[in-house]
Homo-oligomer: A and B are copies of this chain.
Amino acid sequence: MLNDIEIAQAAEVWPIEKIAEKIGLTKEEWAPYGWDKAKLSLGSEHDSDTLGKLILVTSINPTPAGEGKSTVTVGLGDALSKIDPKTMIALREPSLGPVMGMKGGATGGGYSQVVPMADINLHFTGDFHALTSAHNTLAALIDNSIYQGNPLNIDPRRVLWKRALDVNDRALRHTTIGLGSPTSGVPREDGFDIIVASELMAILTLSNDLMDMKQRIEKIVIADTYEREPVTVGDLGVAGALTTLLKDAIHPNLVQTLAHTPTLIHGGPFANIAQGTNSIQATKTALRLANYTVTEAGFGADLGGEKFLDFKVPLLGKAPDTIVIVATVRALKMHGGLAKTELTQTNLAALENGLANLGQHLQSMQRYGVPVVVAINQFTNDAPEELSAIQAYTAKFDVPAYVSDVWGQGGAGATDLAQGVIEATERPAAFKALYAPEDAALEKLNKIAQTIYGAENVELSDKAQRQLKRFAKYGWDKLPIIMAKTQYSLSDDAKKLGAPKNFTIHVREFVPKLGAGFLVAMTGSILTMPGLPKHPAADEITIDKDGTISGLF
């Protein structure tokens, strides 16, 4: 059996020009990056409000068993494309750091992949590198300002803007900088995040255009003064240079699936400390060009799904017409208590036990007033009675569940799912927001925790309470909430699988992101710079004299 990269390498990839023509673009509206990738910048004649149907793919809480959310997204897109050729997919860009570590890419798998797979997983069109450049240029400008007489009165102990790389590098989590000599800066503590955690990444994916991006960048809070007043990029006066560095990165990237379904891949903010979905621009572009747009949100429905619905929808001005929740027999059995090594055995009891996780997500997604369907991503060892058990369970919620084999069959493995999704999008729907913008922070938090997670309540640490008081001074306490929570559990404890009950969500502290326009609520400790495993993927990746890559996954 071929592995992912071998399938991708064997594929017939159309010239990107043909894909651009397929979606009706003129030559002024796109630019090539190689023969198989492009960047789009749509002319204003596309600024219409006639938008196609939007399908949001989300999932149960991820487990080490793998759910294949991206693979289902691509397979569903291909299946819809066969029914209506005016179908597009909108995905996030993979981050290179994890690719060199151990993560599978974000380009799907098997016969439901986006190509050129290797390029997309490596440097792609350079968006993340442009962000890294802008991020670290800003960091250098801040330290330079402190060094050159500190006209903004920045307290070097309270610089909030860390540095960033697209590398998994635990040794850079905590550093000291400015050492060596008086001409080598001002010594202070610092650290590096992975670039997907950068506020610039969140901003890029939220901006409608260059000027919107520039205004957002101006608002980023980079430090406190000695008097503890916020200092912004606008105060430093370098938003223009940073926007200039992001002038190309702001445009969505066009590629194709193995079945030549046009796919926009753009931006990749974390789904815990940021909104976790691809860019507003890419989603909107797809909605304008296609009758059906399939997109996904990071992690489970409690993180990426909630953020898409509560944070992205108001900015996008368009709610999903259907929400697809991806589940697998394997993952549900893990939620039901099995270890990863026990998943090949049929075990209805464990499955029934784990279904509560799916149930919580079904309920929480249904409350938004949008039709929900379940996609069961089939694996080889799934027993027919296990698949039926899931279908019987979702039927109780009046939700259809479709068994799909997208890895092995591509779009052909998702025909029923696609048909079900089309039917769902035609059902009457009325999007209902979870909270109102004017709700107090604690009220927003409680609505998210109780309705989405099934928690009892939310507890704020002393620090978090003090912060909210201070933030009220600047109006930051009314910002939309972005929850930073483990993706593995509905609770804030990664070990509580299934659907935990009677738990409290503990908010340790808030991180205001003024440029992105949200307030991050930190629960537990969220690593913003991953490390590499003992045997990193980089050990296996190589390339031969003809440029053929192996070991990428």
Contacts and interface: CB of A to CB of B under 8 A. Distances in A.
A317 interface: no
A149 B532 CA distance: 13
A208 to B, nearest CB: 11
Given A31-B34, A136-B165, 4 more contacts: A34-B39, A96-B137, A174-B178, A183-B531
Given A133-B123, A245-B122, A141 B536 contact: yes
Contacts of A34: 31-33, 39
A547 B177 contact: no
Nearest to A209: B545
Interface in A98-145: 100, 118, 122-123, 126, 129-130, 132-133, 136-137, 139-141, 143-144
B123 A140 contact: no
Nearest to A126: B126
Interface in A506-553: 531-532, 534, 536-545, 547, 549, 551-552
A171 B148 contact: no
Given A132-B129, A175-B175, A122 B35 contact: no
A243 interface: yes
Contacts of A435: none
A176 interface: yes
Residue from A96, A129, A214 having most chain B Cβ neighbours under 10 A? A129
Contact of A129 (B126, B177, B531): B126
Given A136-B169, A209-B545, A538-B238, A248 B184 contact: no
Contacts of A168: 140
Interface string A407-421: 000000000000000
Contact of A541 (B166, B174, B191, B240): B240
A180 interface: yes
A384 interface: no
Contacts of A85: none
A129 B133 contact: yes
Given A32-B33, A129-B123, A173 B167 contact: no
A139 B143 CA distance: 23
A534 B214 CA distance: 23
A190 B237 CA distance: 31
Interface string A232-252: 000001111101110110000
A70 to B, nearest CB: 22
Contact of A179 (B176, B247, B544): B176
Interface residues of A, number: 81
A386 to B, nearest CB: 38
A292 to B, nearest CB: 30
Nearest to A240: B542
A177 to B, nearest CB: 5
9 contacts: A129-B133, A140-B171, A170-B184, A171-B190, A210-B543, A211-B545, A241-B538, A241-B539, A243-B542
A172 B177 contact: yes
Interface of A: 31-35, 39, 96, 100, 118, 122-123, 126, 129-130, 132-133, 136-137, 139-141, 143-144, 147-149, 163, 165-181, 183-186, 190-191, 209-211, 214, 237-241, 243-245, 247-248, 531-532, 534, 536-545, 547, 549, 551-552
B133 A532 contact: no
A139 B97 CA distance: 12
Given A140-B532, A240-B543, A538-B238, A173 B184 contact: yes
A534 B147 CA distance: 9
Contacts of A139: 167, 169
Contacts of A175: 175-177, 179, 190
A204 to B, nearest CB: 14
A174 B188 CA distance: 11
A42 to B, nearest CB: 14
A187 to B, nearest CB: 9
A181 B34 CA distance: 44
A136 B132 CA distance: 12
A141 B532 contact: yes
A180 B192 CA distance: 12
Contact of A549 (B129, B172, B247, B532): B247
Contacts of A241: 100, 537-539, 541-542
A173 to B, nearest CB: 5
A346 B62 CA distance: 76
A155 to B, nearest CB: 16
B173 A185 contact: yes
A547 B165 contact: no
* A-B complex: 10 closest residue pairs judged by Cβ atoms: A240-B542, A174-B180, A171-B185, A129-B129, A140-B169, A241-B538, A174-B179, A143-B171, A241-B541, A144-B532
A480 to B, nearest CB: 26
B171 A178 contact: yes
Given A123-B129, A140-B167, A243-B543, A180 B184 contact: no
A545 B243 CA distance: 11
